[in-house]
Amino acid sequence: MMNRMNPSRIALMIGALALAFGFFAANAAAVGPGTATLTVTAVGKKDTSPPIVTKDDVEFYLNKERTQVADWKHADKLYLAVLIDDSLDSTISLQWADLKAFFLAQPDTTYISVAYSRNSSAMVAQDFTNDHELAAKALRLPLGSGGAFSSPYLALLDLMKRLPSSADRRAILQFSSGIDYFRGDFWIRPPDLDSTISLAQKQNINIWTIYAPDAGHRARGFFLTSRAQSYLSQLSDETGAESYYLGIGEPVTFKPYFDELANHLSNQYLLTLKGDGGAKGRFHRDKVHTELPHVEFLAAPQVFLPPAQ
């Protein structure tokens, strides 16, 4: 015998279904076919805090053509993954007190995870949490030479594929020497650098990098280290972020880097645009500009528009 359902319960179920349909319909419209989101960082003169930037202050160019901005809003929620190369010299742990202070200074809308790159993979020590004290407890000494023979770019690819899917900001702060020990040929461009940049651009992930020397003797060579730093710098520039380093040695303190990064993260916007992604989706060159005095933008020079259907 079939049970009869209470009419009030039926009404509640219908209401819930209607709300769910409305929710998914709204989100489908926000991130529908041919729509992409780009994280843009406003930078003031000499890295001071810039003024508030409105949609009317922004000029956006797609393939050198002026394009209408569909939406522009100050970003709140952030998923920040901290990736530490396990091949780094253990002296970097002297910087962890300032890194912990950086964690604790972040707003509750910032979710932090901590991972260590080893064997060309990202080993997560603490998943995303807005309990910043808990995230700080995941900081430890790198393994040094025991974490060598790894690729910082393969580890980034591994981490990015496991980041939560979100329309909110996503960023990675990577501590690395930039040397690809896994590939082993230090005289050529790392073969995984371009694919790392492309995936970050496609997923709208900013990769901020801080150079630190590793525990191997190879990192002490000026030519090798300079090339590795230039690759880290390109990685950050192409993903709308910045790279921090001071010569081939480790600075006395990373605090100025953390202070500048905190300022950048608090002045980020989400730019939404619509365009033709074709049948398979495609990359388009972009440029974000403003006439506001003493204000410039950091943004990835390419944006990926998803398939039109």
pLDDT of residue 220: 57
- Per-chain mean pLDDT for the chain: 86
The span from the CA of 98 to the CA of 84, in Å, is 15
Global pTM reads 0.87
pLDDT of residue 302: 96
* List of residues 6+ apart from 176 with CB closer than 8 A: 83, 85, 88, 117, 152, 209, 210, 211, 212, 232
Region label for 50, one of left (φ > 0), alpha (ψ between -120 and 50) or beta (otherwise): beta
Helix (H, G, I), strand (E, B) or coil at 170: strand
Helix (H, G, I), strand (E, B) or coil at 198: helix
The span from the CA of 194 to the CA of 197, in Å, is 5
Q: Which has more pLDDT, 148 or 8? A: 148
Return the residue matching tokens 């900001």.
169
The pair of structure tokens assigned to 65 is 């053509």
pLDDT category of residue 19 using cuts at 50, 70 and 90: very low
Strand ranges inside 180-276, DSSP E: 205-211, 243-244, 268-274
Specify the DSSP class assigned to residue 220.
G
* Average pLDDT over every residue of 132-153: 86
* List of residues 6+ apart from 223 with CB closer than 8 A: none
Q: Quick: pLDDT tens for 169-227.
A: 999 999 999 988 887 666 688 999 999 999 999 999 999 999 998 887 554 577 888 89
What is the number of residues in the chain? 309
The span from the CA of 128 to the CA of 82, in Å, is 10
